[in-house]
Amino acid sequence: MSDTKTTALLIGTTGMLAEAAREAIARADKAVIVSRKADEFLYGEPELDEKLVPLALDYEDTARFITEIEKHGPYDIALTWIRPRAELIRAALDATMAQGGLLVEVMGSRSILLGKDGTPSIAETRAHALAAQPDITYAQVILGFKIEEEGTSRWLHHHEISAAAAAQLDDPIPRRIAGTLEPWEKRPS
């Protein structure tokens, strides 16, 4: 039996990703959970809650955010939902991953769109940047929408989002689309 302890990092996972975060916590010895109200979050299950290290942080204080997550790394598993343009936080996150670690990044449907000036999408930029780090596994979940039988569309439910993220924890692939992104014109308004 190995003495190696595994550490998970969970950023922005106390809402729609709570079920996927549960999967990540179950795989770890310690789980650093980061959100504005992380200190109020519990599953109510001792075997999960005793692993939690809550960090109540806000993106607006980028320097503190980065300093605090660095203190608890390196991370063997990371599951994140981070605002699109938090480049400094994303770069710092990459550097906190353990060799052989798995980074699952959940992104909104617009993350695959080119910039107005033709610049690459956030999802493509991240995939390209992480491809240069062969010592970690990088997997994206792009959140789409669901087209119903009657032709209407809706955004995904929390369990559908968590299922896609959990699938990346089990069987990571470079990009997994939760729901569909096409036709784009059919997305909910």
Q: What is the 3-state secondary structure (H, E, C) of 86-135?
A: CHHHHHHHHHCEEEEEEEEEEECHHHHCCCCCCCCCHHHHHHHHHHCCCC
**DSSP conformational letter for 180:** B
Q: Is residue 2 part of a domain?
A: no
Which pLDDT value is given to residue 140? 95
Domain contains 120: yes
The whole-number pLDDT of residue 3 equals 55
Let me know if residue 159 belongs to a domain.
yes
**Residue 27 falls within a domain, yes or no?**
yes
With respect to residue 163, please indicate whether it lies within any of the assigned structural domains: yes
21 part of a folded domain: yes
* H-state helical runs in 28-79: 46-49, 62-72
Q: What is the pLDDT of residue 1?
A: 40
Residue 1, in any domain of the structure: no
Residues of the chain with pLDDT under 70: 1-4
65 lies in which domain range? Answer: 7-186
Residue 125 lies in a domain: yes
Question: Domains in the chain: how many in total?
Answer: 1
Contacts of 36 (CB under 8 A, 6+ apart): 56, 57, 58
CATH number, residue 124: 3.40.50.720
